Amino acid sequence: MTRKVVTLIALVAVAGLFLVLLRLGTPNELGTVSRHYVERGIAENRAANLVTSVVVNYRGLDTLGEVTVLFLSVTGAAFVLRRRERKPVDARASRASEIVQTGARLLVAPIMLFGVYIFVHGHLTPGGGFQGGAVVASGVLLLLLADRERELPHGLMAWLESLSGFAFIVAGLAGLWVAGSFLANRGVLPLGEWNRLLSAGIIPVIYTLIGLKVGSELAALLDVMMRGEAVAAGHGAARSGGGRRGGRTRGGKNRKKGGRR
Amino acid sequence: MNAGTLYLGAGFALVLTGLACALLRRNLLRMVLGFSIVDTGVHLIIASIGTLTGRTAPIIDDPALLSDATTLAVDATAVVDPIPQALVLTAIVIGVGVTALMLTYIVRLHDRAGTLDVRELRDLKW
Amino acid sequence: MNPVLFIAVPLGAAFLLPLVRRMGDRAARGLAGLTFAFVLAAVVAWLPALGNGAMLTVTTGGWPAPFGIALRFGLAEAVLIALSAAAALGSFGAVSSRAGRDATSGGVRGLVIVLLMVVGANGLIMTRDLFNTFVFLEIVSIATYALAATGDESRGLEAGFKYMFLGAVASAFILIGIAMLYRLTGTLSIDGIAESLMVGGAGAVPMFALGVVLLFLFAGFLVELKVFPLNGPAIDLYDGVSPAVMALTVATALNASVYAFWKLMPIFRAVDLTLVLMVIGGATFVLANLFALRQSRVRRMLGYSTSAQLGLIVMLMPLAHSGDVSATAVGLLLVNHTLAKAGLLWFAGSVGKQTLVEWKGVLAGSPAARLSLAALVLAIVGMPPFPGFWGKWDALVALSRGPHAWWIIPVLAGSLLEFIYYFRWLRLAHVPAEDAETKLEPTGSLVPAHAFGIIVLGAGLALSSRLVTSSTDAVLTLAGAGLVLLIAGQLPGRLLQFLSLAAVAASGWMLHQAGSLAPTSITGFFMLIVLFGAFTVVLAGIGTPPDRKRYHGLFLLLVASLVLLVDARGPLGFFAGWELMTWTSYLLVAQGQRGGRPAFRYMLFSGAAGFLVLGGILVALGAGVTTIGDFAHLAGPAALWTAILLGAGFAVKAASAGAHVWAPDAYTESPDLFSAFLSGVLSKMPLFGIVLFGTRLVAGADPALIGGTYGPGYALGWLGAITAIGMTLLAALQEDAKRLLAYSSVGQIGYAVVGFALLTPLGWTAALYHTVNHMIIKLLLFLAIAAVINRTGTRRMHEMGGLIKKMPAQYIAVLIGIIALSGVPPLSGFAGKWLIYNALIEKEWYFIAGVLMFASVIAFLYLFRLINTIFLGQLKPRHREVREAPAVFVVAQALLVFAIMGLSMFPDALLRVTTAMTAPFFGAAGVELAADGSVLVSLGYLNAFGVMAMVMGLFAVFFAWVLFLGPKTTKVGQLDIVMAAEEPPAPEEIHYAYDFYRPYKRAFAPVLRVSVERGWSRFAAVLSAVAEYGRRFYTGDAQTYLLYAVVFLGIAAVAVLSRLG
């Protein structure tokens, strides 16, 4: 009871603080930095989508960090679940109806294509690597929902995940090499003509890499979370020589559980 | 009162709702749900900061938006602020990462303890 | 080379690792190890170029700030990145531990997370962009959440979830703050925001709203900084997660967060958060240290300690930002904490014991591990020469000179609490093997812990160049020899003993060359005491079995610190020497067979004494003093408080009544030779302090104030007198020879304290004379007892007896010693006591004089027992084979006997020195010394040589009569005892010497019931109860912790906003 009262009072206090902030309202004009981005953005980067310009170039380090966070949470999730036993899945419950399965198979290719379209056009239209990657992963989700037992192409995903991330860094280092600044755009690739697919220098390349990275990352995350014991892309102890170890871990766990009962 | 302020207010309201949920609900999943609501509220707050009534998205796919076609300068009064949109993108992805990790924790906690009640999670104290 | 590589390289490695893993685990480990090594090597190679304050700003994206995200790389950043890489390498080295294996069991995931932790920390350290700060903060946070699932899984999961839950909401607060700051300033560059808030001033930005915005940012960050009241989940994390992982987070996530917070200080300055930060920081430092007292689990204790130390840093941060405290000092505290805490955590992780009880005795068999743990503990509590000492000293001095002087009190109080639990831990780990249930079976490598111990020591030694004095050569010789002997403990014991002697002799010669031995100067006088004592004890030591190998090195370190202390050029040198003396002597006491508990107690009281002394020094420094000579210029309340605090500190260290409880055990349980040094020399150091500072304070004081009968010294005089009589009485009731001498020693120091308390030239002359005399006598007596204990194997007097025939040299030594000590003519003690009585009567302190005379009478009771019980009476059958002490030992004692004889015949030689020393400060000499050696005072005169001649003549006559004309003795068989058919209850009961003064015990029963010991126990119980009650604040409930955070936000809002109007 006391808890609830204290909670309510505290929330009222926070609400009071929010009211103060609300009275500030939203701005009526662009700030100095965003005005620069808007006025000079096209000239400097030739990316029609200014948000992409900000995300990939001006604040590229944030985006690298963002990709890192995603990579980290997938790795972390797999790490946390590493000792989890794989539950035997009831075949009927794990598999959706024939209609859904066929529908899913039909839809996956267009969904993925759409995702790729989004991140390839990230510098021209709304969306980009993250959005496109999420769409790609949603295709994978559809497959998994239709059939939980379905084995994903882990090898391919691992390569995609690792190399796209590494290539992002290489692209950043190219900027450092050419223009003396990490993730710089100018001088690495020709900037091209504004509002064309092949424009904005290295931005679409990076955004494509991000799309691949995010897509494989989110797919791996779904895989880890839906199936427990990680067999997700490239992290798997169950792969290449880790199998014995994984088995031992599971055995040990079982013994422990038995002992407790 | 413009649209931006309305979004801002909605964001604050979401944060408060989420906080109440996170503070009062004893179920781990609902606590995480509360956090998710807080996070969504924060995203709305960030997005609302960039709102400028009557302007278009910062995507310059129409030469009409250019104030000078040779220097490719853009009219600063035509579009909304691109920065908060970039920030909110990052914030959303980070939120996803944290939420995913929280949920995996709950999966493991449930495996081991067989409960989702936060009051059972008090082995470590004092 | 571009510092952005410190982010890009580990990140690239992390991305590649899952692929490299396909080539095998070893390849993956190799890549990770190489990456850490690369970062570490590159940063360290860069350090020299940054030493002069060079600062490198690099852009990303090709645009300068505020359009692109800028990174900055200077000395602070380089040091922090070096620490993070070193810690990553260390935890990498610790992978052989159970926790480490666990962290890598699922393949490379653990390594990937560690790499990303380093990425996040390095980014967080270098970035100059506010939103980028948030991104990197999330990286280190998520890496911490993920790694929390190592070790014991259920505890780790619980702790990790709580930490994550609070951390996630804190991140939301931070994000709200960042968004609104962008709304207010239109930029995200930290420098840009600060500038715009400053340039814009009150008009451009609505202050009230700005205050609210900053509060959200602030509250979110404080969760990361683990300060009260937001530290609950963080402490659970230490409890639940494997220590190796926590060691990594200390050096990465925590440091980087602290530094990020520091970078935001210019923004926070827009509203004044100084007071809020100081209050919560100070509260954290005191409370977390208090709650740590009740921890039975080592890891949780270390968690509280982390919180506490971070609290201190948070408290000092706003002052460092405003320039009131140097930022370097705060940086030193942070670096010290990182190195020591990471080392301790690795240590705890490798030893693998969870509770304090399980730690009991684990290190008994491994001297290297003991030294390492001791070094890390000494570093974390801020003892010299470790960096924490310099940081704390600079910070405290700055505080004392600024408007926040009162904040010194919580800092010192918290530091003392910190002493208690750390040294308790050390004590348990050092319990000797036979008491221990367990032996050290490390589950992992101790190498990282040792390495960080060495690094922190090296860093500290590098900083110690501030202590250079004219005696530096001697100090370096002694300390260097000490360290060598400590490390080379495997050399033959005899060699170690000779090397010690050589080092002491060499340092003495160097001091002589440097002119530091002029006896009429205060420092020269006490330097001679130190050297004489050290030389005698080491010389005697050559005659004893060389069993304790670490003893010699530690002893030389102690002598080095004493030289440093005595020859100090300023308050810093004095205090550094004082604290060095404290911990070196602590370790020596702990070397005793059962020295753990007495050493622990010794350390607590010495620590308290140290902080009182520090308090006194800080009062003086706050009043503008810079050198010791300046103490003469103190006046008014500053002088009074300096005198009170210094006096109290020295009184505790001198084991004055009330604070004496540490002394008997410490003297008794120390190694036998060290007991002699403890009583002979170390007990003189508080007296040195009194003389050093007292002379200046007296010289500067109003003559009317100290000239009267009942001046400021009267209370101290009574303290000394009570000590003298109380300890003498207790000495008489002891069965243990060393314990008896211990009480005697403490009581005798009381006489000296009375002498100094008089504040008259005669009193001081007498006290100084007594000091020297007591040193020689106690060295002699303790050495003699040490020889007897060594030969008989017991300390209990009733188990000895009749040793006069077996150890005649020791008999003579003790006989001369007790005559000299008792203060009867003709030996040296007489002159000392006679002078003190004269001084007391001159000052009209008749009552105290009476008490002291009574104490002298009681002293006969125990002195008599030394001779009677040990040397006279019947020889025990088991002592038939006992031999005299070795020749070298007797030579050392002979030196002392000669000194006593010389002093007995020519006390004027010493008095000439002491008079010359004190006269300048009082403007008058206490005694007049006639040409024939007579000592003249206002009430009479003493011709010591004449007295000696007379007594010796009478003695010769008496001796001749006994020898030639006396009755002949009859020999009786030793075992002719009849028990009259009664069964003796216990062997002790029928020994005449056991409980010898039972009647007196009964007579004094009401006095003896006043147990100071019990008083201190009760105090400890109260403190413990407070800690127990207080720590229940941490209920363990995740939501309660979140509620604390929200309530804290509300309270902070009221505190900050109310001042904005």
Does C1032 fall in a domain?
A: no
Residues C772 and C804 in one domain: yes
Nearest CA among C95, A152, A220, C383 for reference residue B100: A220
State residue C983's pLDDT score.
60
CB–CB contact B108 C1034 (8 Å): no
**Residue A79 contacts residue C106 (beta carbons within 8 Å):** yes
pLDDT of residue A228: 57
Min distance B85 CA to chain C CA atoms (Å): 11
Instruction: Determine whether domain B3-52+82-120 maps to CATH 1.10.287.3510.
Output: yes
Shared domain for C876 and C909, answered yes or no, is yes
Task: Report pLDDT for A238.
Answer: 36
Say whether residue C155 is in contact with chain B using an 8 A CB cutoff: yes
List the chains bordering chain A where 3 or more Cβ pairs fall under 8 Å.
B, C
Arithmetic mean of pLDDT, C223-233 = 91
- Is A26 within 8 Å of B81 when comparing Cβ atoms? no
> What is the average per-residue pLDDT within C45-49?
92
B123 touches chain C (CB under 8 A): yes
Size of interface A-B (CB pairs under 8 A): 160
Nearest in space to C1027 (alpha carbons), one of C291, C7, C273, C423: C291
Q: Is the pLDDT reported for residue C320 higher than 50?
A: yes
Residues C781-839 pLDDT 10s: 999 999 999 899 888 888 888 888 889 999 999 999 999 998 888 888 999 999 999 99
Read off the pLDDT band of C437 (50, 70, 90): low
- Substitution target in C35, C67, C153, C241 with the highest count of A β-carbons within 10 Å is C67
Nearest to C308 by CA among C162, C419, C170: C419
Confidence of residue C200 (pLDDT cuts 50, 70, 90): low
Residue A176 lies inside a defined structural domain of this protein: yes
Please provide the average confidence, as pLDDT, over all residues in chain C.
88
Question: Cα–Cα distance between C65 and C59 in angstroms, integer?
Answer: 7
> What average pLDDT score do residues C682-686 get?
94
Q: Is C384 strand, coil or helix? A: coil
Span C905-914, pLDDT tens digits:
999 899 999 9
pLDDT value at A240 more than 50? no
Task: Look at A230-234, C546-550, C964-968 and tell me which has the smallest mean pLDDT.
Answer: A230-234
- pLDDT at site C435: 54
Last residue of a domain, one of C907, C933, C956: C956
Rounded mean pLDDT, C674-698: 93
Residues C535 and C437 placed together within one structural domain of the fold: no
| C590 and C670 share one domain | yes
Percent of chain C clearing pLDDT 90 (strictly above): 56
Q: What is the pLDDT of residue B126?
A: 82
B29 has pLDDT over 80? yes
Q: What is the pLDDT of residue C133?
A: 96
- Residue C740 shares a structural domain with residue C799: yes
Q: Is residue C209 part of a domain?
A: no
User: What is the rounded distance in angstroms from the CA atom of residue C198 to the CA atom of residue C193?
Assistant: 8
C433: number of Cβ within 10 Å: 10
Helices (H) and strands (E) in chain B, counts: 3, 2
What mean pLDDT comes out for the span A155-184? Answer: 91
Domain presence at residue A17: no
What is the distance in angstroms between the Cα of A84 and the nearest Cα belonging to chain B?
Answer: 7
Q: Are residues C768 and C739 in the same domain?
A: yes
> Picking from A57-66, C174-183, C206-215, which range would have the lowest pLDDT averaged per residue?
C206-215
- Show residues of chain A in contact with C32, CB under 8 Å: none
**DSSP code per residue over C896-959:** HHHHHHHHHH-HHHHHHHHHHHHHHHHTS-S-EE-TTS-EEETTEEE-HHHHHHHHHHHHHHHH
| Domain-embedded: residue C737 | yes
Residue of B nearest to C1040 (CA): B23
Question: Hey, are the CB atoms on A249 and C105 less than 8 Å from each other?
Answer: yes
Is C894's pLDDT higher than 50? yes
Per-residue pLDDT, averaged over A229-257, amounts to 38
Q: Are C326 and C72 in contact (CB under 8 A)?
A: no
pLDDT for the residue numbered C457? 93
- Residues in A closer than 8 angstroms to B64, CB to CB, are none
Residue C389 has pLDDT above 80, yes or no: yes
Average pLDDT over residues C715-742: 92
Same domain, C462 and C472: no
The answer to whether residue C553 neighbours chain A at the CB level (below 8 Å) is no
Contacts of C747 (CB under 8 A, 6+ apart): C723, C724, C725, C726, C727, C728, C731, C855, C859
Work out the average pLDDT over C572-598.
91
Instruction: Please tell me whether residues C434 and C472 are part of one structural domain.
Output: no
Residues C833, C942: Cα–Cα separation, whole Å: 12
pLDDT digits (tens, 9 = 90+) for B70-115: 788 888 888 899 999 999 999 999 999 999 999 999 988 998 888 8
Q: By C-alpha distance, which of C219, C14, C267, C234 is closest to C120?
A: C14
Which H or E element spans position C58?
A: strand C56-59
Domain range for C325: 273-467
What number is the average pLDDT over the span C762-775? 93
Residue C546 has pLDDT above 90, yes or no: no
Task: Return the domain boundaries, chain B.
Answer: 3-52+82-120
pLDDT band at A149 (very low <50, low <70, confident <90, very high): confident
Mean pLDDT of the region C312-326: 93
**Which candidate, C841, C834, C796, C1039, places its Cα nearest to that of C943?**
C834
Average pLDDT of the segment spanning C638-655 = 93
Report whether pLDDT(A146) > 80: yes
Whether C450 contacts C372, CB under 8 Å: yes
pTM for the whole structure: 0.92
Among the partner residues A26, A163, A184, nearest to C62 by beta-carbon distance? A184
- Does B82 contact A at CB distance below 8 Å? yes
First to last CA, chain A: 37
Count of domains for chain A: 1
Q: Are C405 and C351 contained in the same domain? A: yes
| C327 pLDDT tier (thresholds 50, 70, 90) | very high
| Mean pLDDT across chain A | 81
Percent of chain A with pLDDT over 70: 83
C204 confidence band (pLDDT: 50, 70, 90): low
- pLDDT over threshold 50, residue B2: yes
Of the two residues C925 and C181, the one the predictor is more confident about is C181
Touching subunits for chain B (3+ Cβ pairs under 8 A): A, C
Number of alpha carbons in the 13 Å side-chain half-sphere of residue B125: 17
Flag the least confident range among B65-69, C72-76, C432-436, C1028-1032: C432-436
Check residue A230 and give its pLDDT.
42
Measure the CA–CA gap between A24 and C209, rounded to whole angstroms. 7
Contact A58 C63 (CB under 8 A): yes
Q: What is the pLDDT of residue C219?
A: 92
Confidence at C740, pLDDT banded by 50, 70, 90 = very high
Is A12 a domain residue? no
pLDDT of C439 above 80: no
Mean of pLDDT values over C287-312: 95
Q: Which ranges constitute the DSSP H helices of C404-547?
A: 408-429, 447-463, 472-487, 493-513, 522-541
Number of structural domains chain C divides into? 2
What tens digit of pLDDT does each residue of C518-536 get? Answer: 888 999 999 999 999 999 9
Tell me how far apart the alpha carbons of residues A112 and A164 are, in angstroms, rounded to a whole number. 17
Separation between Cα atoms, residue C92 and residue C103, nearest integer Å: 10
Q: Binning pLDDT at 50, 70 and 90, where does residue C270 land? A: confident
Q: How confident is the model at residue A232 (pLDDT cuts 50, 70, 90)?
A: very low
C471-520 pLDDT, tens digit each: 888 999 999 999 998 888 778 888 888 999 999 999 999 999 988 898 88
Residue A28 lies in a domain: no
Highest averaged pLDDT of the listed ranges B86-100, C623-637, C968-982:
B86-100
Residue pair C25/C95 in contact (Cβ under 8 Å)? The answer is no
Out of A22, A42, A130, closest to residue B9 by CB: A22
What is the mean pLDDT of the segment spanning C11-19?
92
Domain-located, residue A29: no
pLDDT at residue A30 in the model: 87
Q: Which pLDDT score, from 0 to 100, does residue C1013 have?
A: 86
Please state the rounded mean pLDDT for residues C8-12.
95
Label residue C756 by pLDDT band (50, 70, 90).
very high
Chain A residues touching C182 at Cβ < 8 A = 31
Q: How confident is the model at residue A245 (pLDDT cuts 50, 70, 90)?
A: very low
Check residue A247 and give its pLDDT: 36
pLDDT for residue C400: 94
- Structure tokens, C574: 């004095």
Task: Please indicate, yes or no, if residue C69 is contained in any of the structural domains.
Answer: no
Show residues of chain A in contact with C1040, CB under 8 Å. 3
Q: Which band of pLDDT confidence, cut at 50, 70 and 90, is reported for residue C461?
A: very high
Summarize the confidence of residues C364-378 as an average pLDDT: 87
Is C478 in the same domain as C343?
Answer: no
Residue C5 domain-assigned (yes or no): no
Q: Is B5 within 8 Å of A40 when comparing Cβ atoms? A: no
Q: How much is the average pLDDT of B51-71?
A: 83
Residue with the bigger pLDDT between A137 and C1056: it is: A137
- For chain C, what percent of residues have pLDDT higher than 70? 94
pLDDT at A145 > cutoff 70: yes
C330 and C298 fall within a common domain:
yes
Residue numbers of the domain that contains A53: 45-253
pLDDT at A151: 78
Separation CA A30–CA B52 (nearest Å): 8
Residue C393's pLDDT band (cuts 50, 70, 90): very high
Look at phi and psi of residue A98 and say left if phi exceeds 0, alpha if psi is from -120 to 50, else beta: alpha
> Could you tell me if C886 and C794 lie in one domain?
yes
- Of A31, A73, A161, nearest to C187 by CB-CB distance is A31
Chain C residue with minimal CA distance to B119? C1037
Give contacts of C157 with chain A, Cβ < 8 Å. 80
How would residue C1061 be classed by pLDDT, with cut points 50, 70 and 90? low
